[in-house]
Amino acid sequence: MALIFHIIRTEGPINRTDIVTRTGLSKSTVSLQINRLLSRGLIREETPGGAGKAKRKLRLELAADSGCVVGVLLGIHALTINVFNIGMATLVEGAWDMSSVIEPEPTNRFIMEKIEELFLKAGIPREKLWGIGIGFPFPVDFMKGTADSPPNVPLWNQYPLRKVYEDHFGCPVLIDNDVNVMALGEGFSGAAQEEKDFIFVKVGTGIGSGLILDGKIYRGSKGCAGDIGHIGIDGETRLCHCGNQGCLEAIAAAPAIAARGLEAAMTGESPLLEDILQSRSRITSRDVGDCAQRGDMASIRIIQESGRKIGSVLAKLVNFANPGAVYIGGGVANSGNLFLSSIRESIVKRSPHLATIDLSIRFSELMARSGPTGAGILIVDELFSFSRFQETLDHRLPAEYPPAR
């Protein structure tokens, strides 16, 4: 039944004959299983447009409104939550600034409250909540469902994230790191829909990457594949918050860009940044990106330098994995084409011709939406995976009606 449902969910609307052809199962088996899925309300027939012959051609599709899932992306400074129906259409969404995520308990309580508020706001009954996917801004042990040695927020270490949410909401929960869910989101409905092998890079407060290989997220043996922020850059000595020197993150992420912008403002190297510093008493990476786009030479140099360093690490990944595309997301991606072209230049310079000849290097199309979308698809795919499908039927839908007549 999971196979037939999978076909209807991913290829529907589809007629019964095509399902028989696709599965190689007998007509009667297909019919029996379709009737069971119909009786559970998980699929439906297209709204009839006519009688007689037209009615016989009715096709089957996912009953997208039978349940919903929540996709959450927590950043160091912001929270985004989307509630999707199980067909992944957004029903309601919200975004909040986070003043601090240092402590896990109040932060997770806040996230739970916001999820509940969205359900109330949209008038969705809580029993329609089938599952939650969450992306966190630090390494996560995907199998155990815990945070693992998060360098920025040490209090979260080993915090039982998945259990806390499952106990509270009484539904399946999956947690992952932010950039993995962003990669999934971009692959589901963003720029990467046609790509089977790609790298998604987030450049924000930190730097990380998500690897999609053969259409699936590659987590590695312990779940930290793609954690490129702490790869050392030759000749760099700036101290990183992880305790090492010269990490990519320490020299190219948003705080490093902001720090260099502050220097340029204080030394008078950049009159534009100097003005901003005088009026707001601080410089952010976004200020540097904006000034670069306005032609400020010092800001241009800072943004190019960051792009080149990131590109030099990405070149190694491109050499190793030969992806079809690289997508850049995260807050610093708002710095414009100058940033992207510096990344591209470094990758092309340091990679073999064959690896870059058709390599597409672009900004994320979904940007801030990539995270919640990916977290949503992470849990929807899990709910309808072959191993969990029966449990989803048993626990998320009303009991089977007695067979009609």
- Choice between 45 and 305, CB closer to Zn ion: 305
Q: Smallest gap, in angstroms, from Cβ of residue 238 to Zn ion?
A: 10
DSSP 8-state class, residue 160:
-
In DSSP notation, 74-132 reads E-SSEEEEEEEETT--EEEEEEEE-S--SSHHHHHHHHHHHHHHHHHHHT--GGGEEEE
Is 249 or 269 the residue whose CB approaches Zn ion more closely? 249
CA distance 200 to 329: 7
Residue 224 CA: distances (Å) to CA of 29, 49, 166, 208, 252:
43, 51, 23, 10, 20
CA 124 – CA 81 distance, rounded (Å):
15
Compute the least distance from the CB of residue 180 to Zn ion, in Å. Answer: 19
**DSSP code at position 393:** H
Shortest Cβ 116–Zn ion spacing (Å) = 37
Residues near Zn ion (CB under 5 A): 230, 240, 242, 244, 247
Taking the complex as a whole, how short is the minimal distance between the CB of residue 310 and Zn ion, in angstroms?
14
Least distance in Å: CB of 232 to Zn ion?
8
Nearest residue (CB) to Zn ion, 250 versus 379: 250
Q: Closest distance between Zn ion and the C-beta of residue 237, in Å?
A: 12
**Min dist. Cβ of residue 18 to Zn ion (A):** 52
Query: Closest CB to Zn ion among 225 and 242?
Result: 242
Strand partners, 56: none
Element (H, E) at 27: helix 27-40
- Closer by beta carbon to Zn ion, 211 or else 252: 252
Nearer to Zn ion, 20 or 242 (CB): 242
Least CB distance to Zn ion at residue 207 (A): 10
All residues at 6 or more sequence positions from 354 whose CB lies less than 8 Å from its CB, including other chains: none
> Which one, 19 or 240, has the nearer CB to Zn ion?
240
CA distance 135 to 97: 16
Classify residue 166 by burial, with Cβ atoms within 10 Å: 0-12, 13-18, 19+: middle
Q: Which is nearer to Zn ion, 50 or 243 (CB)?
A: 243
10 Å Cβ neighbour count for 93?
15
In which residue are the tokens 């402590």 written?
Answer: 103
Helix 161-169 / helix 104-122 crossing angle, nearest 10 deg:
40
The SS3 of residue 291 is: helix
Question: What is the nearest approach in angstroms of Zn ion to the Cβ of residue 199?
Answer: 20
Tell me the CB-side half-sphere exposure of residue 323, using CA atoms within 13 A.
30
The nearer residue to Zn ion, 247 or 378, going by C-beta atoms, is 247
